[in-house]
Structure 1
């Protein structure tokens, strides 16, 4: 059995949201190293340009295109710019997320609720629809939605964020069922506690970390590179029979 190409993304075009840092940027680096042409997206063009330049110096094909995924009118421009640059889209990673609140769910404002849902659920929904014509034309289309262990079981202090991530899991399964006939795979990654800027409020809190360590089979915080490795598996041909899957990468938190 020839295993030389099972993790290759040679000739593929990948679009990754929330990719100027953390998990998204790590996924971009791994995809580019696997041969993909990668578009990284987040809100600030100057930050994207800097990260794209850093990756390009290593011989990778990476382009930054700014987009606030919470603004639905910007998503169409993101897709059009990606297709204009690289001719199509084979892989979509919905990684951008928002969580402006931490505390009791009854203290969450409607404005915060709307922002969380717009970024974490509505944006992936709309972006998947916009990418559909291009994914349908791909010989190996794959969508990876980054949820959370909170989408499996609500996390304390992260009530509506957990609700949004549960909705993203369900949304992914709906698309997986409906897009199977189009040979488009849709899968979900549920990271646990990963040491990124986004989750700093958790891993920098000694009390929270003490409770977390009691629940973790692997007594440590995960890294963004470890999530990127799972994302590579789901994008590459080695996972060609995976769709609708919900894969946890959480150090055993959900055991």
Structure 2
């Protein structure tokens, strides 16, 4: 088994200074890739680039606010120049600063959530897609969410953007297949990161959400990173247009039916 299936590959990861993006960037480097890490800057960005270098790979920090299309264009160019090309693009940047009922959210809230979670992703896909399809090879990985797979009360704006990312993954996989470019997505469930800190900070909320997960735990960023490596490597050469769910079994339940049946079975035993 090849323990470094990405040797010789050059990757770009957005939102790479923390959480899932950081874990993916480090996992790609451990698998042999040189990695350009994009984020808004700061010590965390420099730190992850240094960790990649400590793994013996090239780590390139690129300061980029993904909500600025012009900056995305320039940042991708900088990454390609620094790495000498590009084979893998991980479209990870995203998040939300507010949750609540749909009717309480304003037009300004929608603009902010859409700008970070959908518009920025589209801008990146246009830039890296043009590069990869022109060279005739490459892998694109979109980081969506299980929020985009079904109803997500109090997360409506975020959820619709993540659903759009899944739809776009399917479409681009078909459009770019003839050019030798694969496009896939991952849909994480409840992952313990700074993004979900507002949930994990309260024991009742944290444990309540965890109780709905069949594995009875919150996911770790590293749980997502392994899937990113697989979908980016040649071992997944025939995989495109797929959405890999990483949620400890949460979305496999029919509402609460499966969980309740499981609890009844345990009680009977």
Structures share fold, TM-score greater than 0.5: yes
CA contact (8 A) 1:26 1:225 kept: yes
CA contact (8 A) 2:118 2:164 kept: yes
Q: For residues 167 and 207 of structure 1, what CA distance do their matches in structure 2 show?
A: 31
Task: Give the alignment partner of residue 114 of structure 2, picking from 87, 101, 117.
Answer: 117
Q: How does 1:65-80 map to 2 (within 5 A)?
A: 65-80=62-77
CA-CA distance at 1:127 after TM superposition: 1.0
Gaps of 5+ in 1: none
Q: How does 1:112-151 map to 2 (within 5 A)?
A: 112-136=109-133, 140-151=137-148
Q: For residues 45 and 215 of structure 1, what CA distance do their matches in structure 2 show?
A: 36
Q: How does 1:131-210 map to 2 (within 5 A)?
A: 131-136=128-133, 140-210=137-207
Task: Give the alignment partner of residue 27 of structure 2, picking from 10, 27, 30.
Answer: 30
TM-score by length of 2: 0.89
Q: Does residue 1:43 correspond to 2:40, yes or no?
A: yes
CA contact (8 A) 2:26 2:51 kept: no
Between the two proteins, the alignment pairs up a number of residues equal to 252
Superposition misfits of 4+ residues, deviation over 3 angstroms: 137-140
Q: Which residue of 2 is the match for residue 214 of structure 1?
A: 211
Q: Which residue of 1 is the match for residue 2 of structure 2?
A: 4
TM-score by length of 1: 0.94
Q: How does 1:50-65 map to 2 (within 5 A)?
A: 50-65=47-62
CA contact (8 A) 2:136 2:179 kept: no
Query: Structure 1, residues 181-207: CA drift from partner, whole Å, max 9, x if none?
Result: 111111110000001011111222333
Q: For residues 217 and 186 of structure 2, what CA distance do their matches in structure 1 show?
A: 19
Task: Give the alignment partner of residue 19 of structure 1, picking from 16, 26, 39.
Answer: 16
Secondary structure class of the residue paired with 2:63: coil
| Root mean square deviation, CA, Å | 1.6
Moved more, 163-172 or 58-67: 58-67
